[in-house]
């Protein structure tokens, strides 16, 4: 299922969402311009590698800054065209209303906190892995967690493939996002059973969603009843 848009008006321009999309896009084009070999080195240097954080406590071969900086930089790197397009599309569909509700400043801090938390949770579930992880999906999962809290009854216009036929339906956000997080749990449990490394960072998605859900419960402005 592919979300096309939500039926949920906003009262402000999502400047932070637009800036994040622009920055991710610029970084992606820079990655592409490096070529394959240099691009892979770029990802390994700035991607999140759990083993580096492990090294802080064991071999001390990596500085604290060098190990932790990728928690931020990895949020702006991607592994392919569909990866960056898919992430930015989900951010656009779900992020504008969350930013509208939080306000620009709080939304920026919220987005970064979800991304950092998702990276730490991914590291905990992949301790010692030398596979670099990149992508904004942990932070965006946090946005979806907040959307689930704030707009559960909002309708998501969704493209549904049925064999060779495609059609659209309007799905309440609580069901669309709920289905999505169940898929992440299934994938995360499967990766633990198979000890798979690489591929989809399911636990980053789960962690980001949980952090976004909790922060939205705490941070969302209370509506005044008249």
Question: Do 158 and 169 form a contact (C-beta atoms < 8 A)?
Answer: yes
The model's pLDDT over 56-110, given as tens digits with 9 standing for 90+, comes to: 667 655 566 666 788 999 999 999 999 999 999 999 999 999 999 999 999 999 9
Per residue in 107-165, pLDDT (tens digit) is 999 999 999 999 999 999 888 888 899 999 999 999 999 999 999 999 999 998 887 78
**Residue 160 three-state SS:** strand
Mean residue pLDDT of the chain comes to 89
pLDDT value at residue 99:
96
Which position has the higher pLDDT, 196 or 119? 119
Give the three-class secondary structure for 59: coil
> Which residue reads 């590698």 in tokens?
49
Cα(first)–Cα(last) distance of the chain, in Å? Answer: 39
pLDDT greater than 60 at residue 226: no
Q: What is the pTM of this model?
A: 0.89
Confidence of residue 167 (pLDDT cuts 50, 70, 90): confident
Going from the N-terminus, what domains does the chain have, and what CATH number goes with each? 2-219 (1.20.1540.10)
Give the model confidence (pLDDT) of 1-60 as tens digits.
899 999 988 999 999 999 999 999 999 999 999 998 999 999 998 999 888 877 766 765
216, 145 Cβ separation under 8 angstroms: yes
Burial annotation 43-76 (CB, 10 A radius, 16+ → b, else e): beebbbbbbbbbbeeeeeebeeeebbebbeebbb
- Is the per-residue pLDDT at 173 higher than 70? yes
pLDDT confidence of residue 61:
57
Instruction: Say how far apart CA 65 and CA 179 lie, in whole Å.
Output: 37
The whole-number pLDDT of residue 163 equals 77
């Amino acid at each position: 299922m592919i979300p096309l848009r939500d039926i949920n008006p906003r009262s402000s321009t999502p400047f932070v969402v637009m800036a994040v999309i622009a920055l991710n896009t610029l970084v992606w084009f820079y990655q592409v311009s490096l070529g394959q070999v240099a691009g892979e080195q770029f990802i390994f240097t700035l991607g999140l590698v759990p083993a580096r954080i492990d090294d802080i406590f064991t071999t001390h071969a990596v500085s604290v800054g060098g190990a932790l900086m990728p928690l931020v930089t990895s949020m702006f790197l991607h592994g392919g065209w569909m990866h960056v397009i898919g992430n930015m599309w989900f951010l656009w569909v779900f992020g504008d209303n969350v930013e509208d509700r939080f306000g620009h400043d709080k939304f920026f801090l919220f987005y970064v906190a979800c991304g950092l938390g998702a990276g730490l949770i991914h590291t905990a579930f992949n301790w010692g892995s030398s596979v670099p992880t990149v992508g904004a999906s942990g932070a965006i999962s946090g946005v979806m967690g907040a959307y689930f809290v704030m707009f559960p009854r909002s309708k998501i216009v969704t493209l549904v493939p049925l064999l060779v036929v495609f059609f659209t339906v309007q799905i309440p956000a609580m069901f669309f996002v709920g289905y999505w997080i169940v898929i992440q749990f299934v994938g995360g449990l499967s990766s633990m059973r198979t000890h798979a490394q690489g591929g989809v960072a399911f636990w980053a998605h789960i962690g980001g969603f949980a952090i976004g859900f909790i922060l939205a419960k705490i941070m969302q402005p209370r509506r005044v009843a008249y």
